């Protein structure tokens, strides 16, 4: 593996990527060096201010080690890693609330950060090692886009603040005072010009040449103004070194004897918050980089790389590491998608650890501010401009909302606001999806149960009182309320149902609200005297209803495995309701007789034809008897030409055990159940008698008794 990395880096150094990699790596390293010095100063401020130099060394070492490890071990070539601004606030809170004094406070704070960073890193390694990154990677596109835009805007604001031009409404007139304008205007002009130049020509030499020219031109301008270097640094025009000599190691093993373990244990809640924020930063940085790049990353590998970087960086300096989106995206922008970019960035940061940060004293503050503005504008374009072209207005509003909240309140608040807004919009959209995939009545659908003519006549009259609904999707509070409202309205209609079927076969899941709402509807249906049949309901739904519905109501609920069985039960309820009506009994019987007369006549004619046919075929038939529950299939179906049911009833099932139809006297069992490659099974519902005609015998009849064969063919055709 090491040999492969060395070979890859050697190959990239000899390719056209070398110059862009050196340029982008040096630029990113310089930017991270400056920003992390500021981060460390913030973390080790207040009571820890006397230890700011040591804190800078610890943070820079973590950034150096993390950037190097992510560059070599990560899947994205051109990755730049560092400390997220969101973590700086939490780290500073840990230091400011540490219940210790003096040197013990500094050492205990460092120990807390080391434990938090190393523990978070180990967790990230395990997530990547066991392929669990997909569990945490589901970040909606608007949230990722808003994160990218918010970070871009925050980078621009930080650049303005670095150049001494804090953006506040009350201080806007001050920005245009000559002394203040001279500090920020060159940087803004440089950043905007660099952004449009790179967008127009995309030449990797633009950045290094512009940096050299800017540094040289700025130094000439300072010299012509008669200002010395120290005076320029005092005026905030050039960077000022914070320490002399090496910045690391900043703490030794002996220092850890000063740890205040009681104060450290009191930081448990803050450390848990720090770990949670670190995980969010890793997820959001990867999601944001995917949006910026327009491609998918290997999250498991990136989690392992970020975790390893946090372990090493944490043990060496207590620094949490994750991908820096603007810097990593800049690698792609410069055509520097190579591991060399991250290595060069790490070397630049590491040089400050060895030689100190005195080299920054020649660099104008406005130059680094301009580079940050250049990166921020790229992120704003990706997050706001391109999202505007891709997203509908509602989702684009979430992007803008996140961007505003991130810069007004903070990173975590912005992401949290975006997630809440996304969930609200998702719930609203999902609630507009009709959970009813189809509706039918007992006239539209019949069960496969064979019923006598009187019952068929009853169902023709009362079939419209059987209402069926095929439900779909995920049932939750937003969709359950409209559904039950529709069902309750059907109970109050003039054609109120005798029975209601809810087919749940296509329902993917439900929440507690849906169970509660459905339970209240069942109580309303029970009070209205309507029987409810649930088809293909899950055990979880049944258990939920059993716990939330009164026992008498739940006992009335009918549970069936499929729609056919549900229809059979609903038909039985409709028939029973018809028979139970006491009023106008004579009129109902007369109506039933008229409806069933034709059907009964056809049934009797068919039975007479069947009996006459059995008498003629008697010399060639093989008669068999079957007990209830036995299969009616012959031992060797391939030899059977036709198998007729003479007496009894049987049911045809498919291979999955679903009832297809019922058979009665006169029906052909075979070849009705013979499906090529997957024959159905026919099971006796009661003792049955069958008569079979072997295939070779059938051929003999066709040759020697053609009129009889024609009668058999005609009967089978008319009965099918």
DSSP string, 573-642: HHHHHHHH--TTHHHHHHHHHHHHHHHHHHHHHHHHHHHHHHHHHGGG-EEEEE-TT-B-S-SSGGGEEE
Is residue 38 over pLDDT 50? yes
C-alpha 75/C-alpha 141 separation (Å) is 22
- Say yes or no to pLDDT of 85 above 50: yes
pLDDT of 484? 85
- Inform me whether the pLDDT recorded for 582 exceeds 50: no
Q: Which residues contact 306 (CB under 8 A, 6 or more apart)?
A: 70, 74, 81, 121, 124, 282, 321, 322, 323
- What is the length of the chain? 720
More confident call, 261 vs 152: 261
> What 3-state DSSP class applies to 134?
helix
CATH numeric code, 436-581: 3.30.750.24
Tell me the DSSP string of 103-125: HHHHHHHHHHHHHHHHHHHHHHH
More confident residue, 454 or 487: 487
On whether the 599-719 domain is CATH 2.60.120.10, my answer is yes
Is the predicted pLDDT of residue 599 greater than 50, yes or no? yes
Q: Residue range 281-307: average pLDDT? A: 85
Of the listed ranges 325-334, 586-595, 710-719, the least confidently predicted one is 586-595
d(CA 102, CA 100) in angstroms, rounded, equals: 7
* Same fold across 436-581 and 599-719: no
Of the segments 179-183, 451-455, 659-663, which one has the largest average pLDDT value? 659-663
- For residue 646, the SS3 value is strand
Report the DSSP pairing between strands 531-535 and 499-510.
Answer: parallel
Residues 6+ apart with CB under 8 A from 134: 299
Distance CA 281, CA 92 (A): 17
368 vs 536: which has the higher pLDDT: 536
User: What does the pLDDT look like over 405-440, one tens digit per residue?
Assistant: 988 887 678 878 888 888 888 777 777 778 888 899
558 strand-pairing partners: 533
Q: How is residue 652 written in tokens?
A: 């045809």
pLDDT (0 to 100) of residue 222 = 80
Q: How confident is residue 208, by pLDDT bands cut at 50, 70 and 90?
A: low
Contacts of 599 (CB under 8 A, 6+ apart): 453, 456, 457
Q: For residues 713 and 327, what is the distance between their CA atoms, to the nearest angstrom?
A: 82
How is the chain split into domains, by residue range? 2-424, 436-581, 599-719
pLDDT at 18 over 80: yes
CA distances from 144 to 123, 307, 331 (A): 23, 21, 19
Residue 71 has pLDDT above 50, yes or no: yes
Of 185 and 453, the one with more pLDDT: 185
Instruction: Tell me the C-alpha distance between 302 and 230, whole Å.
Output: 44
Average of per-residue pLDDT across 565-573: 91
3-state SS assignment for residue 164: coil
Do residues 697 and 705 touch, judged by C-beta distance below 8 A? Answer: no
pLDDT (0 to 100) of residue 236: 66
User: CB within 8 A of 623, min separation 6: which ones?
Assistant: 646, 689, 690, 691
| Residues 296-314 pLDDT 10s | 888 889 999 999 999 998 8
- Say what the pLDDT of residue 371 is: 73
Three-state SS for 471? strand
Examine the pLDDT at 559 and tell me if it is beyond 90.
Answer: yes
Q: If you average pLDDT over residues 235-242, what whole number do you get?
A: 62
pLDDT score at 707: 86
> In this predicted structure, what is the pLDDT of residue 122?
92
For the stretch 383-410, pLDDT in tens is: 888 888 778 888 899 999 998 998 888 7
Q: What angle do CA 305, 310, 312 make, to 5 degrees?
A: 95
Instruction: State in Å, rounded, how far the first CA of the chain is from the last one.
Output: 71
Mean pLDDT of the chain: 81
The most confident of 45-49, 132-136, 302-306, by mean pLDDT: 302-306
pLDDT digits over 50-59, tens only?
887 788 888 8
The arrangement of strands across the sheet holding 681-684 comes to 659-663, 650-653, 681-684
Confidence of residue 319 (pLDDT cuts 50, 70, 90): confident
Q: pLDDT tens digits for 261-270?
A: 888 888 888 8
The more confident residue out of 245 and 274 is 274
With bands split at pLDDT 50, 70 and 90, how would you rate the model's confidence at 363? low
């Amino acid at each position: 593996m090491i040999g492969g990395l060395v070979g890859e880096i050697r190959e990239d150094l000899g390719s056209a990527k070398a110059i862009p990699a050196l340029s982008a790596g040096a630029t990113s390293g310089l930017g991270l060096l400056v920003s992390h010095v500021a981060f460390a100063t913030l973390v080790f401020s207040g009571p820890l201010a006397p230890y700011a130099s040591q804190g800078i060394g610890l943070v820079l070492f973590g950034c150096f080690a993390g950037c190097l490890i992510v560059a070599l071990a990560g899947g994205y070539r051109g990755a730049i890693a560092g400390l997220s601004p969101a973590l700086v606030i939490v780290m500073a809170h840990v230091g400011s609330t540490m219940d210790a004094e003096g040197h013990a406070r500094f050492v205990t704070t460092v120990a807390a950060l080391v434990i938090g960073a190393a523990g978070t890193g180990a967790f990230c390694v395990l997530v990547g090692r066991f392929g669990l990154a997909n569990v945490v990677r589901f970040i909606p596109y608007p949230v990722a886009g808003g994160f990218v835009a918010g970070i871009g805007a925050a980078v621009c604001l930080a650049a303005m603040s670095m150049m001494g031009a804090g953006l506040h409404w009350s201080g806007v007139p001050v920005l245009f005072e000559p002394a203040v304008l001279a500090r920020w205007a060159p940087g803004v002009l440089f950043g905007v010009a660099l952004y449009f130049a790179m967008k127009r020509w995309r030449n990797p030499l633009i950045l290094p040449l512009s940096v050299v020219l800017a540094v040289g031109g700025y130094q000439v301008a300072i010299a012509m103004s008669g200002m010395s270097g120290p005076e320029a640094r005092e005026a905030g025009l050039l960077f000022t070194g914070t320490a002399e000599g090496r910045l690391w190691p900043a703490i030794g093993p002996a220092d850890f004897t000063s740890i205040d373990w009681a104060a450290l244990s009191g930081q448990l809640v803050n450390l848990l918050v720090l770990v949670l924020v670190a995980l969010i930063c890793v997820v959001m940085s990867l999601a944001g980089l995917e949006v910026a790049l327009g491609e998918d990353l290997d999250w498991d590998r990136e989690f392992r790389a970020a975790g390893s970087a946090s372990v090493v960086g944490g043990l060496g300096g207590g620094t949490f590491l994750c991908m820096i989106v603007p810097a990593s995206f800049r690698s792609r922008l410069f055509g520097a998608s190579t591991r060399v970019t991250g290595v060069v960035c790490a070397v630049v940061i590491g040089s400050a650890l060895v030689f100190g940060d005195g080299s920054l004293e020649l660099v104008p503050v406005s130059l680094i501010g301009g580079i940050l503005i250049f990166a921020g504008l790229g992120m704003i374009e990706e997050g706001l401009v391109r999202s505007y072209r891709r997203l509908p207005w509602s989702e684009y509003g979430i992007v803008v909302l996140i961007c505003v909240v991130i810069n007004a309140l903070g990173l975590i608040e912005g992401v949290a606001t975006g997630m809440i807004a996304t969930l609200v919009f998702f719930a609203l959209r999902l609630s507009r999806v009709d959970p009813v995939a189809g509706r039918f009545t007992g006239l539209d659908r019949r069960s496969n149960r064979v019923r006598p003519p009187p019952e068929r006549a009853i169902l023709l009259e009362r079939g419209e009182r059987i209402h069926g609904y095929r439900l779909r999707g995920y049932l939750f509070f937003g969709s359950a309320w409209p559904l039950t409202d529709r069902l309750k309205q059907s109970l109050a209609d003039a054609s109120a149902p005798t029975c209601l079927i809810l087919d749940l076969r296509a329902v993917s899941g439900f929440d507690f609200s849906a169970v509660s709402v459905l339970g209240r509807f069942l109580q309303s249906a029970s009070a209205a005297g309507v029987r409810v049949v649930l088809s293909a309901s899950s055990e979880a739904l049944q258990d939920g209803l059993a716990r939330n519905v009164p026992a008498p109501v739940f006992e009335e609920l009918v549970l069936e495995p499929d729609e056919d069985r549900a229809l059979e039960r609903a038909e039985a309820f409709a028939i029973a309701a018809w028979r139970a009506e006491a009023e106008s009994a004579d009129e109902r019987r007369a109506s039933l007789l008229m409806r069933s007369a034709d059907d009964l006549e056809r049934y009797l004619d068919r039975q007479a034809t069947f009996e006459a046919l059995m008498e003629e075929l008697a010399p060639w038939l093989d008669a068999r008897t079957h007990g209830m529950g036995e299969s009616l299939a012959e031992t060797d179906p391939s030899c059977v030409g036709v198998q007729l049911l003479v007496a009894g009833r049987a049911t045809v099932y498919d291979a999955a055990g679903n009832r297809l139809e019922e058979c009665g006297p006169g029906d052909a069992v075979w070849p009705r159940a013979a499906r090529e490659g997957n024959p159905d099974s026919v099971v006796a519902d009661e003792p049955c008698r069958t008569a079979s005609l072997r295939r070779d015998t059938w051929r003999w009849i066709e040759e020697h008794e053609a009129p009889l064969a024609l009668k058999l063919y005609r009967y089978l055709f008319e009965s099918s």
